[in-house]
Amino acid sequence: MKRQERKNDRTINIYKILTIVLAVVLIVVLIIFGRSWMVQKNAQKEYEKLSAQVNDLQNQVNDNQINIPSDTQTETENVAQEVQTEDSELEQKGIEIPQKNLNWKKLKGVNPDIYAWIYIPGTGVDYPVLQHPSDDSYYLNYNMNGTRGYPGCIYTEKANSKEFTDFDTVVYGHNMRNDTMFASLHNYEDQTFFNNFPYIYVYTKEKVLVYEIFAAYKTDDAHILHTNDFSTKEGRVSYLESIVKKSKNSPEVKDKIQLSVDSHLLTLSTCVSRQADKRFVVQAILLNEEQL
C-alpha cells in the first residue's frame, strides 16, 4: 500500500514539474511575442509620425517650391525642396509631382542613413529610404531606431548609388501582414490597379525623380545586382531580355515603354507569402532623365 502511495506521489510530482516547466515555457514565449509586438508597434508609430510630418501640407508649395517653417529658415540644411514640373515628358503625360514637406535635417536626426523618400500613390508605400554604410542586410533586420525585428526599413545596398544614377536601383522592403512596408506592391498583380497607379516618386534633398511602372511579376530570389553585369552593353541587354521573358505571361506589363541600355530603372523587391525562394518585383523607368 505504501509502495503504491509513493508511486502515486512520484507521479504527482512529475506532473507538477511538467506543469511548472510548461508554464515557464509559455511565459517565455509570451514575453518574446510581446516584445516583438511592441517593437513592431513602436516602429510603425515612428513611421506614421514621420509620414504625418512629410505629408503636412500647411507648409507646402508656392511657385513650385516647398516653404520652410519660419523657425528653420535660417538653417542651411533645410534648403527648400524644388518641385520641377517643366519637363516636357511629364507635361505630355499630365503628371504632377505630389508635394512633400521634407525637412532633411529632421530626417537625418531620426536616422543619418535616410537619404531619400519613396511614395507610390494608391499604395501604402510612403517611407524614407535608407542605406547602411557597411552592412547591406542591416535594415532587413533592424528598424530606424536601432531595435531588432520587424518591420525593418525600406533600403538599398551599397552597390547602388544614393543619387539613383545606376542602370537599375534595387529597393527592398518586407511584405508585412498588416499591409505596411512593401506589402501593397502585390496590388500590382491586379491589372486594373496596375493601370490606375503607374507612377513612383522618389524625393532626395536635391531633386524629385518620377518613374513609370512597366512590369510587376513574381520571380526567383536571385540577387539582381550580383547576378547581372550592368557594366557592359551586353549585360544590360541580357537583363532587359530577361525582364521581358519573366514577365511575358503576366498581364501586368506595359509594352509601349521603350527600354534601352541607357535607361535608368527602379526595381522594388519584396517577399512572396509562403514562398521563401520567390520575390515579387515592381519595375519602373525614369521619366525625367534631366534630373540626373
Q: Is the dihedral of CA 57, 63, 69, 72 positive or negative?
A: positive
Among 132, 153, 174, 186, which one carries the catalytic annotation? 174
**DSSP for 168-179, written as a single string:** EEEEE--B-TTS
Q: Is 223 a catalytic residue?
A: no
Place of cell 521603350: 258
Query: What one-character DSSP code corresponds to residue 61?
Result: -
Question: What are the CA-CA distances from residue 38 to residues 45, 90, 148, 279 (Å)?
Answer: 10, 43, 11, 28
β-pairing, 126-130 vs 154-155, is parallel
Q: What is the C-alpha separation between 272 and 274, in angstroms, rounded?
A: 6
Among 132, 186, 264, 271, which one carries the catalytic annotation? 271
Residue 80's φ and ψ, nearest 5 degrees, are -60, 135
- Cell triple for residue 44? 510603425
Q: What is the C-alpha separation between 134 and 157, in angstroms, rounded?
A: 9
Number of CB atoms found within 10 A of residue 25's CB: 10
Q: What is the C-alpha separation between 243 and 112, in angstroms, rounded?
A: 34
Question: What are the CA-CA distances from residue 179 to residues 74, 132, 174, 236, 252 (Å)?
Answer: 39, 24, 10, 33, 20
Which CATH number is correct for 38-291, 1.10.3720.10, 1.25.40.80, 2.60.40.10, 2.40.260.10?
2.40.260.10
pLDDT score recorded for residue 37: 55
Find out whether 264 and 285 touch, Cβ atoms under 8 Å. Answer: yes
As separate numbers, helices (DSSP H) first and strands (DSSP E) second, the chain gives 7, 8
Query: What one-character DSSP code corresponds to residue 97?
Result: P
* Alpha helix stretches (DSSP H) within 111-249: 138-141, 191-196, 224-227, 233-247
CA 194, 198, 204 angle in degrees (round to 5)? 135
Task: Name the pTM for this structure.
Answer: 0.80
* Alpha helix stretches (DSSP H) within the chain: 2-54, 88-93, 104-110, 138-141, 191-196, 224-227, 233-247
Q: Is 153 a catalytic residue?
A: no
Each residue's pLDDT, cut to its tens digit, for the chain (292 residues) gives: 555 555 555 666 777 777 777 777 776 666 666 666 566 677 788 898 898 989 885 444 443 443 333 333 433 344 334 444 445 678 777 899 999 999 999 999 999 999 999 999 999 999 999 999 999 999 999 999 999 999 999 999 999 999 999 999 999 999 999 999 999 999 999 989 999 999 999 999 999 999 999 999 999 999 999 999 999 999 999 999 999 888 866 655 666 688 999 999 999 999 999 999 999 999 999 999 999 8
- How far from chain centre, in Å, is Cα 152? 9
Q: How long is the chain? A: 292
For the chain, the helix, strand and coil percentages under 3-state DSSP, each to the nearest 5: 40, 20, 40
